[in-house]
Amino acid sequence: MQSSLNILEKLRKIIRFLTKTRRVSPNAYIGHTIGFQHEHQSPYSGIEWNTPAVYAEFSGPPNNWPKNQIDANILSKLPANQVKGSAWDPKSIMEYEFGPGLVLLPAQYKKGIFPPGILSANDIKGVKSFYPVVRESTIVKLKLNKSAVIKANSGGQDDYIFTAPTTKKYTFQTVGQLDTVMVVSEKATTENYYLSGDDDSGLDKNARITLPLVKGRDYLINLRVMFTPYAQSGSIIVS
Residue ranges per domain, the chain?
4-130, 136-238
pLDDT one-digit tens code per residue, 68-106: 989 988 999 888 766 766 678 888 878 888 999 999 999
- What kind of architecture, by CATH, is found in domain 136-238? Sandwich (2.60)
Cβ atoms 138, 205 nearer than 8 A = no
Phi, psi of 220 (to 5 degrees): -95, 135
pTM > 0.85:
no
What whole-number distance in Å separates Cα of residue 149 and Cα of residue 232?
A: 12
56 three-state secondary structure: helix
Residue 2: count of CB within 10 angstroms of its CB:
21
- Rg, the chain, Cα only: 19
pLDDT one-digit tens code per residue, 117-154: 777 788 777 776 666 566 677 899 999 999 999 998 87
